[in-house]
Every structure is written in structure tokens, then in C-alpha cells.
Structure 1
Amino acid sequence: MKLMQKSLLSLCLLCALLVAACGNDANSSQNTQHTKAPANKQVLSTVFAVGAGIPDFNTVDPALAYNIADVNAVSAIFTGLLTLDYNLRIHGQLAQSWDRSSDGLTWTFHLKPNLKFSDGTPLTSHDIAYSIDRALLPATKSTTALYYMGYIKNSDKLSNGAIKTIIGDSLLTPDDNTIKIVSSKPVPFFLETLTYPCAFTVEKRLIDAYGAQWTDHLTEGGSTGPFKVKRYIHNQEMDLIPDSNYYGAKPQLKELVYPFYKNEDTTYKDYMTDRLDDATIPLSNYSQDKTRKDFWKKPYLSIDYLAMNFSKKPFDNLHIRQAFALAINKTLLADKIWKGSYIATNHIIPEGQYGYYPNLSGPAGVKGPAGDPALAKKLLQQGMQEAGYSSINQIPQIALTYSSSGKQAFRDEMTALQQMWQQVLGVSVKLDDIDGNTLSSNTSNGVSANPYQFYAGHWAADYPDPQDWITIQFGKDAADNSMGFGQNNGANAASERALQQQMVTADLMQDSNARLATYNKIEQEIVDDIGWISIVQETQYGLRKPCVQGVRVNALQLTPPDDWGNVYISTDLPCANVTVS
């Protein structure tokens, strides 16, 4: 397959970087002998990347999942044709093998034998076609399906209601064990797009019976992953048990429990009293806890950023945007607020993946992430003159909307930013801490649905390709382009739209070197235009009980489905005081 040659080159580079950076997960080594705990103790009560900082999942419908908590839960319950493994390589799930046509447009997937849903119903190629088609239907209201599966031929027509289905058109099922997917363009990352949850397989029977509420009835079946739902109590917890019909390695755990904690830092207290098997670490404890034996840390392809709404004043002016960006000392934030646990950055594409541009500069050519207060003041005055503001008092009131999810360090970061803008620019910024699900929903449907003037965001890679960071974030009509890059009436809108056309060109390039150079150029221009103000690149870290064995989390903060078969609870102490319910 032509795609795999280029992809494996970039992924091998990625894997080398990840291994060099931090090594293996804590508690994941199988070199040490551990005694497996009794069956009634095979319960993992976990909040890492799932329940910490949220009152509930937004959704567990694969077609609708988009934040890291939802995606983690969905990935334990459902699977699709493909996934990304621990090293972020393409791995067959429902698909046993696949091949590509000579023109690069048609992919043929051959399924594993005897596939079944969790209720025992046979799973065929027709179920896969139905699931992809359903995700793209306008009635499903997926914000992710079109731009992850938008390269499937006529997916745009299905999504906008011009046609009723693409089954029999670009989704072909010559027999129960074979599905052909026809793409509209020979993009080099097509397989990677099929690893996102919107391409996962769901059971039509359940959806026909319960409509939009079908995920509240997953105890009746519908799963295709290593686990199935035992109990889902909204705003309290979700309990999973092994799916006996799973086609891969069966979980050794008897239960996987996802409790919800609206206040993220509360998980630490419950961990210390053995109510949880893992926890996040409050930043006030990071310096001392990073030396604990139950501490773990590894790379994460994730960026925390601020975004300005280009359609709302005063951020329709480039120089005012640049002034706000350069008034920030990101190095100080990383060192003092995040205690060195995160890395200050100007980058959109994170370090450790294909597409990272080491020679990138900050806005207006500023080197390094420490900002430039003198230049920030000059740019603010220039922007005010262009916008017709004779004094700072004439600048519209500015509000920065964010969600701390109960995490004190994030509140401290927002306060530090507020102080920097006041001290450097003389501008007062109001802070508004809101529910995380609300913020995420309102900034995942394009600029027209975004009510915020200025907001804090977070993006983690869906797959290790620059398109996931550039086109999906800043492309024309992209759901996550809530800042309105290219879709505004500012003086730079035309150049932004031209850059969006370059994104489309880069997405199609087959020469990996030329493609990389094009994305690097695009990223630099977005940084100069303040498409985002990237603040820090996150790392993954936390505490995990020594009794938890075999857990492996990849650089996307996900445990690959087949890796759940290696996870078990040992007799090592301490351990969460939980038993099979």
C-alpha cells in the first residue's frame, strides 16, 4: 500500500521520539512477577482521561463523541475497522486485512471471521456501511463525521441532505465479510481518519428501537469493543464488564468503573483514601509527588491554547491580537503555574509527531515563548489607531471564557494571564469559568455558533498527521474553526482564505517532504495571524496504584482496544478498596 510507506516513516520517527522522551508507562511492565488478585477484586476504578473534571459524558454515541473523555469511553465500548495502536501505527480491528486500488481511491477491507455484537447478533459488512452512513446523515447531527470522513466520495452530499445514502455508491458490500470504501481524493492519511470514533460500528436494531436515546439502553447490546455496559447512572458513574463476544483479547478485568468528578482535584483525595485506582495530581503536590513510586508520566500530543473570535471586536484587528499574544510570558506560566509539568510553546503541531516544525517563530518573528512586552505595547497602539480607538478605555470590554473543571492550577493560569495583560497592555480582562461540556459544545460547531469573544481551548491529536492540526482546526467551514479564521470581515480575511486553499493542497500531497514543508509554511502564517495563542504542550501524568498491572496509554491518551486484555489487578498494595458489584 502506497500510503503505508510514507505513514510508517513518520510513525517510526514519532515512536522513536516518544520512547526517548519518557519510556514506558508505570505499572505496565510484565518483567516483574505479580500475583493476580481474586476474581472479585478484578475491578479498575479509573478517572484518568475519562471522569476527572466532568459531571457526566457528553455522549457515548460514536458518531457524536469529540472530547477526550467521551472518546475514551466510546473506545472501550465500540470499535471500527481500524485503530491506532500503542505506537500510533494503523492496527486492524474489525478488519483483518485491506488493500488499495491502483488509482489510490478505493480501499477494500476484509473482515475478521465470525464477528458479533455484544448481544450475539452477527456483525457484517452491512453493519459497518450502515454505521458510517448514519454518522454522515444530517439527522444524526454529528460535528465530526464530515471532516473525519469527508474524503469518502459523496459524503458531503449525504451530510447536506442532497442524497439519502452513500450505501451502494461509495460504501460497497460485495459480501458479508467485505466492504469497499471509495474516496473522492487519494489523501495519504485516509486510513487514519477511519480510526476516529465516528467511523465505529453500531447496532441498527438498538437505534431503530430507541432513537436518539439508544445509548441509554446499551445494557441490551450494541457494543463492538472489549467491554459492554453493565450500568450507566448519569452524573454518577458508568460501569463496564467484559464483552464475551469480543473478537480480540478478552479483558481480565471483571469490571471497569468510570466515576464522574466535577472537581478534578477531588480525585486526588479519593485516591489517597483508596477509593480510586488512579488520580490526577493537583499542581500544588506535583513537585513532591513526581518522586513517588506510583507516579507516571509520558508524552501527550496535546496543546492548550487561547482563541480569539475574529468576528468580534476588538479581535477583528490583527495587531491587537498580536499584542495580546506577545504580552504573555508562556515560559513563566509553564514554570510557575504548571511547575515544569508542561512545556511552553508557540507551536500548533506538537513536538513528537510528524509535522513538528522546530524552526517556527512566535508572532511577528519573536523567538521563544517568553513574549515581548515592548513590542506588544507598540502593536496595541498600532491596532488601536487602525480600529479607531483613541484610548484603551474605548476598547470593548474583553471577557475570556474558560473551564477549570475544578482544577485550581488552571484558574491560577487564567489569573496570571489576566495580570499580564493588565501590566503589559493596561487592558482589563474579565474571566468567566463555565461548565466544560458547555464550552466544548459551543466551540465545536463553527464560528456562527460561537458566542464567545475570547476562549481557552485544548486540542489533542486524533491521529499523528498535520492535517489533524491544520485543516481540521483552521480549514474553511471546519467545525472547530470557531475563531472564524478565513470566515470574517477583517483586513486579513482574504489572505486567510488563500491559506485555507493551501491547506487543501497540502492535504493531497503524496510527497512527504513537500507536504511537510507546505504545512510548516502554513503553520507559521497561522501563528503570525494569531489563529491560536498556543500556551503549553501538555504531558500525561498522574498516580496509579501498584496493584494495577498492564495499563498502556498511547500519546493520544487512549488505551488501544486489544491492550485491555493485558490489564489486571494484582495483590500488590495499596489498591483501591473496590470489589465486583
Structure 2
Amino acid sequence: MQDPDKGMDRRDFLAKTAAVGVVATGALSAAGPAFARTLAPSKLKTVRYAMSGGLTPADLADPAFSNTQHDGRLMTAVYEQLTRYDESLQARPWLAERWDSNKKGDVWTFTLRSGVRFHDGSPLTAKDVVYSFRRLLDPKTKSPSAGLLSFIDPTGIKAVGARRVSFKLKQAIADFPLALITKSSYIVKDGATSDELKLEANGTGAFMLKEFQPGDDPTIFVRNKRYWGAGLPRADVLRLVSISEPAARIAALKRGQVDIIENPPGSEVPGLQGGNTRVVVQVKGDMELVAMQIDQEPFDDNRVRDAMKYALDRQRMARLVAQGRGTIVNDIPIASFLQYALPGPARAHDIAKAKALLKQAGYGDGLEVTLSVSDVQARFVEWATVYKAMASPAGIDVKLNVTPADTYWDNVWLKDPLFVSAWIARPTDSMLGLIFPSTAAWNETHWKRPSWDTRLAKARRTLDVKARTGLYRQLQQEIVNEGGYLVAYMVNTVSATRRNVKGWRQSGTFFENFATIDIA
């Protein structure tokens, strides 16, 4: 039986649905010509949102396979989860209005909001929730997110009446409402298949999918008039476009071609604070980093990994690349402000120690490595270029392999032994469970230690907060000491808008809230 965490290749999934073409929701199709007439541009309040990430043919409308930046934006517009992050990345009620557990913490019951409807008009019920999670966990679905929820017993997900859902867990999970939040934990309609979701994208979210073609701009959404949130959404139309080149993104904002842009370079931020534009800063903890695959030479030697880490001048990297907006962290992609995060100072920059470690590892005459990178995200190439200069005095010759943005996530990420990556802020347990367990689909560094996996499971089921904190910190310390990440800083999430945009606050996570955006 295939491991449920070994996700189907996104291109394989697309091949199964290639004949589908442009996506339009069933609810919109049923509305017919009368609805189409309401799309007259002069009468609609339209939000034009420019993403910083590139589009790929692997972009999808099925939550089970949500992975790319475009996927994340699409899912949060169309679908919703039982719980959602608050400002401190704790769980807040969303489709579930409340929850409770037994004393052991291995049975949790959620009560759904009343009056919630899917885009096709059908009411949200407990059966939809049961189906959504069983489908996500089914090995036949091959969702790459299934492993994040492997502690749920699929047979133990049951409807308790029309609005109550019970989850029986394989082990106690102290923070289960928080652990439920993943890239793919969106609620779909009972019985919906992958082919149907590709066609209809039938969710409960504030917007309905109108036009979508994988890899092409724009993706267009229209207002869900049945939305349960009072007075939301405030816009009639949401248009997503991809402008991966920072200068082009800024120019489009200044010319009024888009209303919101992501990730303006730090050097350009002062020029956006005035006139018809403004800057929105959110403290969250995004991180650019380098991943070393620790089962590949020369990174299978921890002395080499340590030398790479000691060659990194974190203070200088934050100053040069993050434009002074970075907060120094250690070699693990977990924001220091989070509950359970590892305290203490980051590893010091030490060229002499890096040289000594390389000599011990048999590289006294120097080490040559190839670092794969792309401009698929802001600061990636700059990070790699600065690190190349930093590593040289230690005898590490970093050759940069600059690859195209539109193929980076498919052809380089997870495949090359040394590459630049990035993660948005997630709760401590979520990040540990996402990229470090032996069977994790997105295990960038090939950190595969069964004893570590066992201790993560123990931390999750430990109900005492103090004891749980200690266990989580031990797990992180082991990664800092022996893992394959180079992490210099966490940086504030920055976006920029036209002055007439109201109600926008970028979350700094994979889950944006487009419903509150208004155009004055």
C-alpha cells in the first residue's frame, strides 16, 4: 500500500484532468445570461491582486493538492476550513463555531455554524466535513497533505447530527484545532470527486471561481451572494494575476493597473509610501533559506553542514538582503515569536571554525558546491549571491545554478541536493510536522529519523503545557545541531496597495482573507 504522505505528482493529476480546460463553477453556469450581464465593469467593484510567485501548469483548483502560491490564494477565496489562524497563529473558529474534547484529548467534537451554504446553494452539513477529511486521508486520493493529519483515524470521523462532527484520533493531540489547519484541510461537498472539483470548485468561501486556466492569467472570482459573513465580501470581483518580476509588479501598482502587490523589494518600500500608494507591514516571520539534503554528498557529513552554517553571517545577511527588516533566527524555519519556539541566540559567524570543520571532513583544500536558485520569489537570488561571497573565505566555492522561475518548484525544489527555498509562518507543531517527519512529502532536507518521529508524536499527545514545550524544544535543538537548513532571519511580510484600498491586511501565511478588501 502506498504511503499516504507520498503525494501524487501534480503533473500526473493534471494529466488525468487535462481535457477539462477553463474552469467555471456549476453555480455560475446555472446562473446563465442574466448573471453574465452583472459583470459589466462599470458597475462592479473589482480588486486586482498581483502575486509575486510565478504561475505553473501545476496550479490546481482541488484543495487536496494545494501547494503553489496560486493554489493558496485560490483556495482561501473559494473554500474554508473548520478553524483558521488568528494574529498569533492560534486557532480561531471559522466554519466550526466551537469545539470540545474528552479528558484524554483523543476525541474532539466540532459544532458547525448554521446558515452556511456551498456555492451551488446546498447547505453545509456534518456529512460534508466527514467526507472532506476521509477523502483527504484516503491513500487513493494521494494528497501530499495527508501525512500532516495521519494522527486522525479516518473511520473515527463521524457525523453526530446535522451540525456536529466527531474526530477519533489515533493518539491524543493537545492542539488538535490548530493541527487541523493545513494547505488542504478545506471543506468540499459530500461526494465531490477530483474531476468535479477541477470543474466546479464548489466551496463555501466568500468568492466563487469564474475563470481559471492552470498556468495562465488572470484567475477571476465573483462575489458569493450567499456568503454567511455579514456584509462580506465587500468586493464584487477578485482578479488574481502573477507578476514575478518585482520592478514590473511595482510599475503596475503605480500605474493603477493593479490594486495590491505582494513582496516589494525592501529597497523599493520607501518609494511606495506616498502619493497614490501605501505600504502594509505585517510581523509574521517569513523566511528565505537554503536546504541541504543530508543524505547526499557532501552534506551527509554533519561537519560539512556545520561549516556551511558557520560561514553564514546572519547579521550581515539580514542587513543586506532583508534591508534591515529581518530578525535573526537559528537554523530552523520556525519563527521565534511562536509558542514552543526554541529560545536562545543563533549560531555565531565563525570562518575559522568553518575552515577547521572542512579540514576534519577531508576538504582542507576547499569545497565546491552548486546552489540552485531562481527569481521565483523576491530575495532568492540576492540571498544566494550574498551567501556565495560569505562562504568564500571559509574555502567554500559556491557555484550558482540560476534556473527559470516557471519551472523552479517543479524541476528544482526537492530534487537538487542544495537549493534556496522559503516558508511562510506556521505554528511550531505545524512546521515540524510539515517538513521533518520521515514520510513527509515536503521533507526538503531528507531529515529521516524514526526516533525523532516518535518523540514528535509524544510531544503532540502531551497535555501538560510545560512538558510539551520542553519536548518541542528538544526536537528543534536536534535539528539546529544536525539538520540541513541555513536560516539567517525571519522577515516581516510586506505588501503595497493603492490608496483607495481598504480592509487589506496580509496574513503572512498561506491563508489570505480577501473578503474584507474594499475599494473606496
> Which TM-score band applies after superposition, normalised by the shorter structure?
0.7 to 0.9
Residue 325 of structure 2 is aligned to residue 332 of structure 1 = no
Residue 424 of structure 2 is aligned to residue 484 of structure 1 = no
Which structure shows the higher strand fraction?
A: 2
Q: Pick one of 337, 357, 378 that aligns with 2:356.
A: 378
1:86–1:552: 8 Å Cα contact kept in structure 2? no
**Residue number in structure 1 paired with 2:372:** 401
2:445–2:483: 8 Å Cα contact kept in structure 1? no
Q: Which runs of 5+ in 1 are unaligned?
A: 1-37, 154-165, 444-449, 487-495, 571-581
1:53–1:405: 8 Å Cα contact kept in structure 2? yes
User: Any idea what SS the aligned residue of 1:139 has?
Assistant: coil
Q: What is the deviation of 1:239?
A: 0.9
**Residue number in structure 2 paired with 1:316:** 300
The 5 Å alignment of 1:410-489 reads 410-435=380-405, 438-439=408-409, 443=413, 450-462=414-426, 464=427, 466-486=428-448
Q: What is the deviation of 1:526?
A: 1.2
Q: What is the deviation of 1:455?
A: 1.2
Partners of 1:325 and 1:427 in 2: how far apart?
Answer: 14
User: Any idea what SS the aligned residue of 2:211 has?
Assistant: strand
**Residue number in structure 1 paired with 2:220:** 239
1:376–1:424: 8 Å Cα contact kept in structure 2? yes
Q: What is the deviation of 1:256?
A: 0.9
User: Any idea what SS the aligned residue of 1:138 has?
Assistant: coil
Q: Pick one of 527, 544, 552 that aligns with 2:505.
A: 552
C-alpha RMSD of the superposition: 2.6
Compared CA separation, residues 89 and 501, structure 1 to 2 (3 A) = closer
Q: Pick one of 461, 477, 483 that aligns with 1:524.
A: 477
**Residue number in structure 2 paired with 1:357:** 342
Return 182-191 or 93-102, whichever deviates more: 93-102
Return 247-256 or 372-381, whichever deviates more: 247-256
**Residue number in structure 2 paired with 1:539:** 492
Identity %: 21
**Residue number in structure 2 paired with 1:140:** 141
Compared CA separation, residues 527 and 291, structure 1 to 2 (3 A) = farther
Q: Pick one of 202, 212, 225 that aligns with 1:222.
A: 202
User: Any idea what SS the aligned residue of 2:308 has?
Assistant: helix
> TM-score when scaled to structure 1?
0.75
Compared CA separation, residues 343 and 437, structure 1 to 2 (3 A) = farther
Q: Pick one of 162, 172, 179 that aligns with 1:193.
A: 179
Compared CA separation, residues 538 and 440, structure 1 to 2 (3 A) = farther
Compared CA separation, residues 331 and 528, structure 1 to 2 (3 A) = same
Compared CA separation, residues 309 and 472, structure 1 to 2 (3 A) = same
**Residue number in structure 2 paired with 1:91:** 92
Superposed CA deviations along residues 249-288 of structure 1, whole A, max 9, x for unmatched, are 3312111110122424421111111101122423442354
**Residue number in structure 1 paired with 2:288:** 304
Partners of 2:308 and 2:331 in 1: how far apart?
Answer: 17
User: How many residues are treated as equivalent by the alignment?
Assistant: 474
1:286–1:339: 8 Å Cα contact kept in structure 2? no
Partners of 1:437 and 1:426 in 2: how far apart?
Answer: 27
Q: What is the deviation of 1:305?
A: 1.5
Residue 38 of structure 2 is aligned to residue 42 of structure 1 = no
**Residue number in structure 2 paired with 1:152:** 152
The 5 Å alignment of 1:171-210 reads 171-204=157-190, 207=193
Q: What is the deviation of 1:437?
A: 6.0
Compared CA separation, residues 420 and 90, structure 1 to 2 (3 A) = closer
Superposed CA deviations along residues 474-506 of structure 1, whole A, max 9, x for unmatched, are 2222222231223xxxxxxxxx54444332322
Amino acid at match of 2:254: M
Compared CA separation, residues 533 and 87, structure 1 to 2 (3 A) = closer
Q: What is the deviation of 1:326?
A: 1.0
1:334–1:340: 8 Å Cα contact kept in structure 2? yes
User: Any idea what SS the aligned residue of 2:116 has?
Assistant: coil
Superposed CA deviations along residues 224-244 of structure 1, whole A, max 9, x for unmatched, are 111111222441111111112
User: Any idea what SS the aligned residue of 1:258 has?
Assistant: strand
The 5 Å alignment of 1:19-58 reads 40=43, 42-47=45-50, 51-56=51-56, 58=59
Q: What is the deviation of 1:109?
A: 2.0
Amino acid at match of 2:360: Q
Compared CA separation, residues 91 and 520, structure 1 to 2 (3 A) = closer
User: Any idea what SS the aligned residue of 2:63 has?
Assistant: coil
**Residue number in structure 2 paired with 1:25:** none
Q: What is the deviation of 1:381?
A: 0.6
Partners of 1:451 and 1:404 in 2: how far apart?
Answer: 17
Amino acid at match of 2:113: K
1:347–1:360: 8 Å Cα contact kept in structure 2? no
Compared CA separation, residues 308 and 54, structure 1 to 2 (3 A) = same
Superposed CA deviations along residues 108-127 of structure 1, whole A, max 9, x for unmatched, are 22222243210112332112
1:126–1:176: 8 Å Cα contact kept in structure 2? yes
2:493–2:506: 8 Å Cα contact kept in structure 1? no
Partners of 1:115 and 1:428 in 2: how far apart?
Answer: 54
> TM-score when scaled to structure 2?
0.84
The 5 Å alignment of 1:54-73 reads 54-56=54-56, 58-73=59-74
Compared CA separation, residues 552 and 265, structure 1 to 2 (3 A) = same
Compared CA separation, residues 44 and 428, structure 1 to 2 (3 A) = closer
User: Any idea what SS the aligned residue of 1:470 has?
Assistant: helix
**Residue number in structure 2 paired with 1:578:** none
**Residue number in structure 1 paired with 2:243:** 261
Q: What is the deviation of 1:534?
A: 0.9
Compared CA separation, residues 437 and 242, structure 1 to 2 (3 A) = farther
**Residue number in structure 1 paired with 2:518:** 568
Q: What is the deviation of 1:551?
A: 1.7
The 5 Å alignment of 1:9-28 reads none
1:294–1:545: 8 Å Cα contact kept in structure 2? yes
Partners of 1:95 and 1:557 in 2: how far apart?
Answer: 20
Q: What is the deviation of 1:406?
A: 6.4
Q: What is the deviation of 1:379?
A: 0.8
Partners of 1:193 and 1:441 in 2: how far apart?
Answer: 30
Q: What is the deviation of 1:319?
A: 0.6
Partners of 1:532 and 1:182 in 2: how far apart?
Answer: 35
Compared CA separation, residues 415 and 342, structure 1 to 2 (3 A) = same
Compared CA separation, residues 138 and 442, structure 1 to 2 (3 A) = farther
Partners of 1:146 and 1:530 in 2: how far apart?
Answer: 21
Compared CA separation, residues 440 and 513, structure 1 to 2 (3 A) = farther
Q: Which runs of 5+ in 2 are unaligned?
A: 1-40
Partners of 1:180 and 1:550 in 2: how far apart?
Answer: 35
Superposed CA deviations along residues 187-244 of structure 1, whole A, max 9, x for unmatched, are 112111223242211135652xxx44x44423xx612111111222441111111112
Partners of 1:347 and 1:537 in 2: how far apart?
Answer: 11
